[in-house]
A and B are shown apart, each in its own frame.
Chain A
Amino acid sequence: MTDTTDAPTDQVADATDERCPVHDLATDYDIFDPGYVRDPVPAWAELREACPIAHTERYGGSWLPTRYDDIQAMAKMVPVLSSVSPIVINLPDELTNDDHTGYNAAAPISADPPIQTWTRRLLLPHFTPRAIEPLRDYAEQVCHELIDQFIDDDGCDGAVDYAQQIPPRLIARKLGVDESMVDQFIEWVRGALELGLQDPELRVRCRKAIRGFFRSEIADRRSNPKDDLITALLQSEIDGEPIPEAMVVGMCNLQLVAGIDTTWSSIGSAIWHFATHDDDRRRMATADDTLWDTAIEELLRAYSPVTMARDAIEDVEFGGVTFAKGDKILMNFPGANHDPDVFDDPDTVILDRQRNRHVAFGAGIHRCAGSNLARMEMEVSLKTWLSRIPEFTLGDPNAVTWAGGQVRGPRTLPLVFG
């Protein structure tokens, strides 16, 4: 049992030395500060006491709530807190068009009701526990094949060689696209979300590439329908009409972008945890299904990867502050999950935690549509890993890198076996 704050030597991916130091978190927090990316838990704890809805002018300005109850309430403030631009940093106006925000971008995540409602209803049946179960055998096969490639070595990069490789293969199979393109998908998604957050031109370039890819896939399915999600969306109707192609492109874009680095971050963080917590690793190596059920939820809670965003569509008072029309609000689900008012000993991983109403997958109408796929991938990838590599530790702790901002997780994770 150790808290999540004990990795002070890790480095942060793409850190720059030119940033202005943070003197006051309440008025000047920095979601890309290397220390915050490496371990945001102490900043959340400080803010929860001092200023539970903090503000910064950085990156176009935003609000950062840190209390569970506030974040739960804000998730229900629909559509006053709109989802049309759920990325934590908006693109500059001159780079924005109809494909970048709103219902064409990535419905339902980038939409408000009523469009959010019907696009979500189209997707959800493909992601129920029963709809996901047929992918379990394939997930196990993928995990074993990945491990086969490095198990005879002294170690591997747990992020690059393993965690990063699993979700793109699963979502590619779900969509029905070429699984040999996973490296390309990873590059696009990192460019569209992770690296593109602070590089708008890269973000736009990768979004265009993803949309172009799906436009050609859609053209193919029109003449060669397959048993896949792209075909299913193409054949769906709303009010007796097919869904506009730009929206289908956006919904496919969402599957790729939201289905990849989120889950690889959760898998990678869990492996980091097991590499640095011998007792927990050994306990899970012999765990029964009951312990696995709670452990997966606990790892999701403690290392929640995803922060979404909302834009206020009008001035709104909440929790002692006023969100002005157009303000960006960060849905700090990871911070909510460390609130001591809701979680006993919140900064400790307790594998059999019983009371765990975590919001790693969000809350309210935008609850992660792919949560059951993510949960299955976590379970299969961690069980398979521990069954074949029960003993491992961090290699060079200084070589570990983390990404943060919208999605937090390890991007370089050197491991030594045995």
Chain B
Amino acid sequence: MGMPTLFQEVHVKIKVDAEKCQGHSRCYSLAPELVDVDDLGNAFELNGGEVPEGLEDKAHLIIDNCPEFAIEIVEA
């Protein structure tokens, strides 16, 4: 038998709003697996925003630590 549906990993995708981002780089310091920053410190999502399995908590962590409210889940 496969895993019950209830426990299947939910597909999560994040998006950084470049207009809101002010380059705090806190997301990068907390989750360099999910985002990188450019020359001005402004963040952009890696892998087209796809959050690898097992890193969903980190995705929520960077969303909940952005002082500009610039990161959000776009698919779940």
Contacts and interface: CB of A to CB of B under 8 A. Distances in A.
Interface in B8-46: 22-26, 28-30, 37, 39-41
Given A121-B40, A293-B30, A367 B65 contact: no
Contacts of B65: 297, 355-357
A155 B24 CA distance: 36
Given A124-B40, A357-B64, A357-B65, 6 more contacts: A356-B64, A357-B66, A363-B67, A367-B24, A367-B67, A371-B25
Contacts of B24: 361, 367, 371
Contact of A358 (B40, B61, B67, B69): B67
**Interface SS, B side:** loop
B75 interface: no
A356 B41 CA distance: 19
Interface of A: 121, 124-125, 127-129, 293-294, 297, 354-359, 361, 363-365, 367, 371-372, 375
Contact of B64 (A128, A293, A355): A355
A152 B65 CA distance: 40
A236 B73 CA distance: 39
Interface of B: 22-26, 28-30, 37, 39-41, 60-61, 64-69
A357 B37 contact: no
Nearest to A130: B37
B25 A363 contact: no
B64 A359 contact: no
Contacts of B67: 357-359, 361, 363, 367
A129 to B, nearest CB: 5
B29 A125 contact: no
Contacts of B22: 363-365, 367
A361 B29 CA distance: 15
A297 to B, nearest CB: 7
